Amino acid sequence: MADSEKRQVSISIIGLPGSGKTTFLAALWELVGERRVTKVLTFDTIGENDHSYLRKIVGVWRKATEQARTRLTGPSAVRMNLKDAEGNVVQITMPDAPGEDFRAMWEDRELGRVLGETLADGNLLLLVNGNKVKAPAWVAERAAQRRATGREKVEALPKEWHPSHAPTQVQLVDLLQLISHAPVGTADRKIVVMISAWDKVEGEKLAPDAFLRENLPLLAQYLEAGRDGWASRVYGVSAQGGEYDGNDANAEPVEGEAPKKARKGRDADRLREVGIPANRIRLVFGEKESNDLTEPLQWLMH
């Protein structure tokens, strides 16, 4: 099929630093290339798409090693030619921008031109690391806890406010507000909120939408209130299936000391033994569980 006959769909993957965007992309690429696993969208052709970035990150994923956090360049253009059960071919563009770019939107009120162009329209997939949600916490309650447990507060000078102190949900609401208004983008779009590291938070026994209401209530209210016209779905994803080995590139070097070795992941050895690697992936929607990461993409395509 000629490129001009393909439907073009743009889905931006967004999220704060450490939210699991790259891991999600790597797992998705592994899945779409795996013919033995059933899914709603399958790989069609390589075409003219440059898959070198995807090949690199999927290699790290297959080794059950965390993705490196050091990439600070602009968005990587990720394009996949996929087809649905009826044989309709779509080219999905999913720019994978560094989380720092989204953090700059909240903290510095700046948006680079290239990322700005990708956020102008199309639907969104928002990754939120369920295990790293920074919730608001108050001095009075913390002091009462210390009194109850007999712990002393470490002496410290008061800290001035900095945008990075804001709870995760406040930062994400601001991000979505910016994306749905001029000068960045438009309202009335679809969004999938993907709670990553689901294996670490499923002990709370909550479905993903309930997890969002319980742990990020401001974001849940904002989406449900509908001022900016978001149509939303909430999923839980364990794109690794468990805890991978750390990445040496992420270990902070200390001057004068030997390079630190990355930590050993609790589940890495077990996951390397899974017969079909794509079966490491776990996706939860409501009460249902599968490994089909293309299902939320299909919802975002329409």
Instruction: Please tell me the distance from the alpha carbon of residue 187 to that of residue 232, in angstroms, as a whole number.
Output: 13
Asked if residue 113 binds other proteins (CB under 8 A), the reply is yes
Nearer to other proteins, 56 or 213 (CB): 213
Peptide bond into 183 cis (omega under 30): yes
Instruction: Please tell me the distance from the alpha carbon of residue 189 to that of residue 59, in angstroms, as a whole number.
Output: 33
Asked if residue 206 binds other proteins (CB under 8 A), the reply is no
> By CB under 8 A, how many residues form the interface with other proteins?
45
CB atoms near residue 150 (< 10 Å): 6
Pattern 248-267, other proteins, x by CB under 8 A: --------------------
Pattern 154-183, other proteins, x by CB under 8 A: --xxxx-x-x-xxx-xx--xx--xx----x
Stretch that binds other proteins, among 3-11, 76-84, 134-142, 237-245 (CB under 8 A): 134-142
Nearer to other proteins, 77 or 218 (CB): 218
Q: Which of 8, 70, 226, 248 binds other proteins (CB under 8 A)?
A: 226
Nearer to other proteins, 85 or 143 (CB): 143
Asked if residue 141 binds other proteins (CB under 8 A), the reply is yes
Unique residue bearing structure tokens 């790597």: 26
- As measured in angstroms, the least distance from the Cβ of 154 to other proteins is 9
- As measured in angstroms, the least distance from the Cβ of 14 to other proteins is 15
Instruction: Please tell me the distance from the alpha carbon of residue 18 to that of residue 35, in angstroms, as a whole number.
Output: 30
Cβ contact 299:7 at 8 Å: no
Q: In what order do the strands lie in the sheet with 190-196?
A: 42-43, 79-83, 89-93, 7-14, 123-129, 190-196, 231-238, 282-285, 288-290
The candidate with the shortest Cα–Cα distance to 266, out of 199, 198, 194, 195, is: 199
Q: Which of 7, 55, 63, 142 binds other proteins (CB under 8 A)?
A: 142
Cβ contact 207:287 at 8 Å: yes
Q: Which of 1, 85, 144, 251 binds other proteins (CB under 8 A)?
A: 144
Nearer to other proteins, 5 or 155 (CB): 155
Strands 89-93 and 79-83: antiparallel
The candidate with the shortest Cα–Cα distance to 128, out of 208, 62, 187, is: 208
Q: Which of 55, 63, 153, 260 binds other proteins (CB under 8 A)?
A: 153
Across the strands, what pairs with 282?
238
Q: What residues line the site for other proteins (CB under 8 A)?
A: 105, 109-113, 115-116, 136-144, 153, 156-159, 161, 163, 165-167, 169-170, 173-174, 177-178, 183-184, 213, 217-218, 221-222, 224-228
